[in-house]
Structure 1
Amino acid sequence: MIEVVNLSSKGQLVIPKNMREEMRLNQKDKFVLVNDKDTIIMKRLQEEEIKFRMNSLMKELTKEFNEKGITKEDLRKEIKSVRKAG
């Protein structure tokens, strides 16, 4: 199915009702967006997939921080500094 939609002034797109119904999309569904030049691909994420991706990201960050000697306290200080500056 192919549909044409317009981008709103707030940067929002409306997924046509017939597509939402066919895919059984719900208001709280989450999507990952991937862009490549003039193309955007949207993929609905399932709750388990979100948890898996977050766990993978946390493992990757933990490994990277450990390799560079960055501690939790270093992160807390940096976050506090950025919040003060903002």
Structure 2
Amino acid sequence: MKYIMFRQQQCGMTKLIPVIFPNDFVHKDVADALQQTVLKDSEIHSAGFISPLNLLPEGRSETLNVAADPDTDERVIKMNDYGAAWQ
């Protein structure tokens, strides 16, 4: 699977928003579509690949020219529903 980690500023804090999607999609296409709609005010923090078995981020997106941030991305992806997306 692929993922993109988006970054938004809200109330003086940084929020990281992970989006995980199938390998059939292109990182840039997903990022462009989301940044034109629901994530208009976001920037791309990182992107890469993730195994659904262990949720360990790795690699990079060639189309976005950005790499995974394994330590931060893993924490945010695994704990997103528990509030770990705020920094």
How would you bin the TM-score normalised by the shorter chain? under 0.3
Larger strand proportion, structure 1 or 2? Answer: 2
Tell me which of the two structures has the higher relative contact order, counting C-alpha pairs closer than 8 angstroms and 6 or more residues apart. Answer: 2
Structure-2-length-normalised TM-score: 0.22
